[in-house]
Chain A
Amino acid sequence: MKDRIGSALYASEVSKIVDGPDGRLTILERVSLEVERGDSLAIVGASGSGKTTLLGLLAGLDRPSTGSIALAGERLDALDEEARARLRRSRVGFVFQSFHLLPALNAEENVMLPLELDGRDDARERAADALARVGLGARRHHYPAQLSGGEQQRVALARAFVHGPDILFADEPTGNLDQRTGAGIGDLLFALNREHATTLVLVTHDATLAARCARSLRLREGKIDETAA
């Protein structure tokens, strides 16, 4: 594993097993993958194939039952939840299907959040820049409820990139948007990704979006589908 630590993301023989009412249930089975810095990977598969579970494990939101993961050069299994939070705060960005903006905060404050959690002083200026970059400079004082779905996802993109993460995890970023808006968000996502030279891991059902990634990985019943192209 040591020689792989230089890659942006490395997973080795990762499994996730949970206890259900009818005994143990294997959600992911011996998944291994590697993503180089600046690379982009799409994870695709049917519902229930384990995509979201894998994304959560790769981003350090959950711990695998077996196997190990290294994120931005750090072994996740060696870190406790607090340390993983610290890693996410400085190195990771997220985009969600349902945008997940905090309703109590306005657009600018939502974007400031990762910077503030990291204790940076220039949060407001950088958030304003990031919002201007996604075309919402004029709406930075609006609350999520006052924004359309597409606009909310653009705020979420600004939040994801504002602290210059090494790696971005996106979970169905266009899943809740109509086709046209979704395409616009896709364009913006890849443009920002290029600009920031960020590594991108994307879970999606959207074949077009998946095709824009350098690589694609298909899951079937918790295992990597070797038959896929």
Chain B
Amino acid sequence: MRPLVFAARSLRREFRHAELATLAMALVLAVAAMAAVATLAARVERALVASAAELIGGDLALGAGHALPAELAQEAQRRGLATNRLAEFPSVLFANERSQLCDVRASDAAFPLRGALSVRGADGVEHAAHAPPSGSIYADHAALVALGVAVGANVQLGGRDLVVAGEIAKSPDSGNLFRIAPRVIMNLGDAEAGGLLGAGSRAGHRLLVAGDTDAVAAFAAWARPNLPSGARITTVEDAQQNLRNAFERGESFLRLAALLAALLSGVAIALGAQRFARRKTEEVALLRCLGARRGEILAALLLELALLAVPACVVGLALGLGLQQLVLELASGLLPGAPPRLPWGPPLAALAVGVAVLFGFALPPLLRLRDVEPLRVFRRDLAARVRRFDVLYLLPVAVGALLVLYGAGNARLAGTLAIGFAAVALATFVLGLVLLWLVRRLATRLRGALRFGLANLARRRALTLLQTGALALSLTALAVLGVIGPSLLERWRADLPADTPNWFAINLQPEQQDALRERLHALGASNMNLLPLAAGKLVAINGHAPQPAEKSDRRAADFIEGEVRVSWSERLPEANRIVQGRWFEGAPAKPSISVEQVWVDLFGLKLGDTLTLRFGDREIVAEVTSLRKVEWDSFRANFFLMLDPADGEQLPHSMVASFHLGGDGAAPLAALSRDFPNLSLIDLNAVLDRIRDIIGRVTGAASWVLGFSLVAGVLVLLAALAATADERRFEAALLRTLGAHGRQLATAVLAEFGTLGLLAGGVAVVAAAVLGSALAGGVFKLEGYTPPLGPLALLVAAAAALVALAGWAGTRRIARASPMAVLRRA
């Protein structure tokens, strides 16, 4: 016997059988899902990391919440390095009675040091550029569209009239995934002259340095001990690490969605392989009878599987790579510059996953064929020896566990996930059993074809549960992402009171506050809240300088290295609650401070601890006299640290205002901005809309990947159908013989699969609703949240329709079976 020839011939003959087609399809799907997600993730990550220098705008960045001393730039220039000074802040651009919140970058002429800036002039021609000259700005397409202006138009920014000199076509760091607002580039001198960078402004200042690697390193070594308080150095390596961290969470979610598709494909493969093995049993018995050795038979079987796997893997890979390319093309704005070349690693890993899934799930039933007795040729009832436990059963479990570990990236998350999957599977099993019991009870009350369809479900209980489970898992994921998530966000937003502040005004000088208050009142602003703001640096906690390296939480390190903002007030501000201690009364003997819960947790603070803070050349040692909890979703200006007012008033400070302004506040606020040129206005509605837009896009992209798992769930259904095809064909023929007409057969099929879809949809909706309620209570703190029953009911109906349709498509040929088959089957 020549196994390869035999395998090739067998495959050619047997490919028309449903189970091999199922096997191939499942493999295609597993490889496609993994290849698409892993390759896309790798390319996006590479692009981001490779552009880290572009993203920070140079080879080294020094950043601070205040202007950096000129000596730093002078020292860098002395060492032969190029420098670029810039400041970044959010501000509202006004034109045509419209407003648009923008991310403003004010820069000297050196920008950009790394990467390229190109702008489109009024003639539509794109050309390389540096930061705009005084009196003009560059704005990106989104900003121009929002304001309804074109290049050459006049706009107001920080109370000054400026000309749009060009539309930004390409800018370093345009690939920032999490940037909220459109980008504007202005001249640094204009920003300084307009008071946009005054004391207390929320502008971030940066000095960028570029040049010879050694000179940059030497400058960094010199700069570290000479940094002013609150300043920080960012290297290309730091930026890369930050990008990786930001990226990893999103990636692991997508990987898990792809993994679900791969695992469900594995289940479909297992079902297909089982059916294939059953069909092969007679053949193997005959071959054994004719003298073939076990090894030869096994080799032929495995070769047949491999011959099937190779083209399936190639097709899956092509499909996956094509899909990720499509996503890249569609979301070209996501990446800075051209996407990096196709990496080899992820596609190869996807192939490995495909092979692992195929052999992991298909081998057990095939290897069992070793046990087929030659005597079976004479006695068909001689079943393969049933073993109570077969070590082979552990193979799919092991492959599944390895895949979860691979997908999750670390053992702890993998463990949590495995437990999660197992819990959902168990819940599905129990819920499925209960529902099946109900179906059985219901079936006896129904008639004819309907009853027959439902009885079929109850009879093939194990298969029904498997199909329900596979579909329910993918539907749950879809329901959580598509229905529960958006409804939670919507409900959370709706829960905000009508006068929730929707505008922030920052950078206001204390002497301007009464005038501003009057103006806002006249405009009809409500829920107004004005607080002072002083920016300082955390020097010590209980007399010891905190070390950023000791803090595992990135936020703690940011507070230590960066700027801390402090406010004060006679009365406890609204949306604040004292948890421990007391609010300030009168002028205390020594400086006192109230600390918010986030800081309490980050730094392990308690009453009586001291915080040393430096404001300019002044140092304050304040004792913690109260611990507070803030409702952050009140959208008021709130602070982690609040000093006693007596000591606060002594500090140089600006003011922050939050207020609610109904209707379109843009026109009146444009006038306000002209009268208070140093004021920066932030439109919170626009920010919230933008966040919702980003969430919408991300969930949209994730839905595509979850679509893979839904297809995989349907594939499990089809595999189960293929596994019972012979039985179904015969039953359809028998019903035909007894006089059933086509419509009755169709009714039975639709009843069976529609109910299966209802079961799966029902389980998914229950699971999604439970998860939603848990999220509502645990994460969003929403009381009495009811999951949106309408959309969920729609999901169940859609699931039932989808499954009924898939079932009908899968059995259409079967239903046309000739009634003669009944007579032919002895």
Contact = CB atoms under 8 A, between A and B. Distances in A.
A104 B456 contact: yes
Given A89-B738, A102-B452, A123 B447 contact: yes
A119 B734 CA distance: 18
A98 B742 contact: no
Contact of A117 (B448, B731, B824): B448
A89 B820 contact: no
Interface residues of A, number: 35
Given A85-B741, A123-B447, A100 B734 contact: yes
A86 B458 contact: no
Contact of B455 (A86, A105, A123): A105
Nearest to A52: B823
Contacts of B448: 113, 116-117, 119
B451 interface: yes
Q: Which of B740, B820, B823 has the most CB of A within 10 A?
A: B823
A61 interface: yes
B118 interface: no
Interface residues of B, number: 29
A96 interface: yes
A10 interface: no
A105 B823 contact: no
A154 to B, nearest CB: 17
Interface in B731-781: 731, 734-742, 744
B739 A118 contact: yes
A61 B739 contact: no
A28 to B, nearest CB: 13
B659 to A, nearest CB: 69
Interface string B799-823: 0000000000000000000111011
Nearest to A100: B734
Interface in B144-203: none
A88 B826 contact: no
Contact of B458 (A89, A92, A104, A117): A104
Nearest to B448: A116
Nearest to A141: B444
Interface in B64-93: none
Contact of B452 (A104, A114, A119, A123): A104
A88 B738 CA distance: 6
A123 B824 CA distance: 29
Contacts of A86: 739, 741
Contacts of B744: 117
A43 to B, nearest CB: 12
Contacts of B736: 85
B456 A114 contact: no
B379 interface: no
Interface string A79-106: 0001001111110101011101011110
Interface string B419-453: 00000000000000000000000001001110110
A76 B731 CA distance: 24
A171 B741 CA distance: 22
B459 interface: yes
A85 B822 contact: no
A213 interface: no
B380 interface: no
B40 to A, nearest CB: 46
A56 B823 contact: yes
A55 interface: yes
A193 B47 CA distance: 84
B544 interface: no
A221 interface: no
A52 B451 CA distance: 31
A85 B740 contact: yes
A104 B447 contact: no
Contacts of B16: none
B412 interface: no
Interface string A96-134: 111010111100010001101111000100000000000
Given A85-B739, A114-B738, A171 B455 contact: no
A89 B737 CA distance: 8
B81 to A, nearest CB: 82
A117 B735 contact: yes
Contact of A62 (B444, B447, B740, B818): B818
Given A61-B819, A97-B826, A109 B739 contact: no
Most buried by A among B447, B458, B731, B742: B447
Contacts of B822: 61, 94, 96, 100
B820 A61 contact: yes
B824 A105 contact: no
B385 interface: no
Contacts of A114: 738-739
A119 B744 CA distance: 11
B825 interface: yes
B463 to A, nearest CB: 12
Contacts of A92: 739
B735 A103 contact: no
Contacts of A119: 448
A194 to B, nearest CB: 23
Contacts of A56: 819-820, 823
Nearest to B821: A61
Contacts of B444: 109
A88 B734 CA distance: 12
Interface string A154-196: 0000010000000000010001100000000000000000000
B824 A52 contact: yes
Nearest to B816: A81
Contacts of B819: 56, 61-62
A90 B455 contact: no
Contacts of A123: 447
Contact of A102 (B731, B818, B820): B731
Which are the 8 A-B pairs with shortest beta-carbon distances? Answer: A89-B739, A116-B448, A104-B459, A104-B455, A88-B739, A61-B819, A56-B820, A85-B741
8 contacts: A56-B823, A61-B820, A82-B742, A96-B822, A103-B459, A104-B455, A104-B456, A113-B452
Given A56-B820, A86-B739, A94-B822, 17 more contacts: A55-B823, A56-B823, A59-B737, A61-B818, A61-B819, A61-B822, A62-B819, A87-B739, A88-B737, A92-B739, A98-B825, A98-B826, A100-B825, A113-B738, A117-B740, A171-B823, A176-B826
